[in-house]
Chains A and B, each alone.
Chain A
């Protein structure tokens, strides 16, 4: 099976702009989770989607939002970008009933200038 894919792989934006990141899970995986990885904060959970519904949410401001489509593909949106949003954004998918066993994508490297 193909692994989790994320697009784009690299992105440069300026402060105040918004950005949309995309994630395609492994075929058959209906749970998609998003994480932010930074050198200072490590791996921080953003949210998890299952069957087009947000099922879990981390402690990030409302500028961070997401959605999931009927084919389980997911998008994450960050509005009004701040310098501190520069990070590697990881998407992970998992099977229903095995949501703890996550398969990660390569990530999208977002740089905010």
Chain B
């Protein structure tokens, strides 16, 4: 079974501060992980894929197999980063009946 856990439902930081949204996974094989973001009144959209090792909107996420984590990080948060963030595994490795995505973390960046 492939599970992800986002331990923080809410996260609040000040503008310019570093931010880290946590995602932990438990996998029996090689994980495929993604971060999705949902801004207020916008649709859910893909933010990052772990295999691409890219930086999007200043965010990066590194797969740490030793710690089984895929935390999303940004060195200097901006107010426009305020949104709901979901960590998600590949659809094909989900445990049927469980939530495909993590429970999500609501990030608030205060001015």
State whether the Cβ of A99 lies closer than 8 Å to any Cβ in chain B.
yes
Question: B46–A102 contact, CB under 8 A?
Answer: yes
CB proximity to A under 8 Å, residues B59-93: 86, 90-92
Could you list 21 A-B pairs, sorted by A, with CB under 8 Å? A33-B91, A35-B100, A42-B102, A43-B44, A43-B86, A43-B101, A44-B99, A45-B101, A48-B91, A56-B92, A57-B96, A58-B97, A58-B100, A59-B96, A90-B43, A100-B32, A101-B34, A101-B49, A102-B36, A103-B46, A104-B45
The answer to whether B20 has its CB under 8 Å from any CB of chain A is no
Pairwise interchain contact B86-A59, C-beta atoms closer than 8 A = no
- The count of chain B contact residues (Cβ–Cβ below 8 Å) is 22
| A interface with B by C-beta (< 8 Å) | 3-4, 33, 35, 41-45, 48, 56-59, 90, 92, 99-107
Q: Does B98 contact A (CB under 8 A)?
A: yes
The tally of CB-CB contacts under 8 A between chains A and B is 62
Q: Contacts A105-B43, A106-B43, A107-B43 known; A100 to B90 CB distance under 8 Å?
A: yes
Complex Cα–Cα for A105 and B45 (A): 9
**CB-based closest 7 A-B pairs:** A59-B97, A45-B100, A104-B44, A43-B101, A100-B90, A42-B103, A104-B43
| Shortest Cβ distance from A46 into B: residue | B100
Contacts of A107 in B (CB 8 A): 43
Q: Does B94 contact A (CB under 8 A)?
A: yes
Question: Which one of B32, B43, B44, B91 lies within 8 Å of A56 (CB-CB)?
Answer: B91
The answer on a CB contact under 8 Å between A100 and B100 is no
In the complex, what residues of A have CB within 8 A of residue B92's CB? 56, 99-100
Contacts of B10-53 to chain A: CB distance below 8 A: 32, 34, 36, 43-46, 49
Question: What distance in Å separates the Cβ of A31 from its nearest Cβ neighbour in chain B?
Answer: 9
Contact A43 B91 (CB under 8 A): no
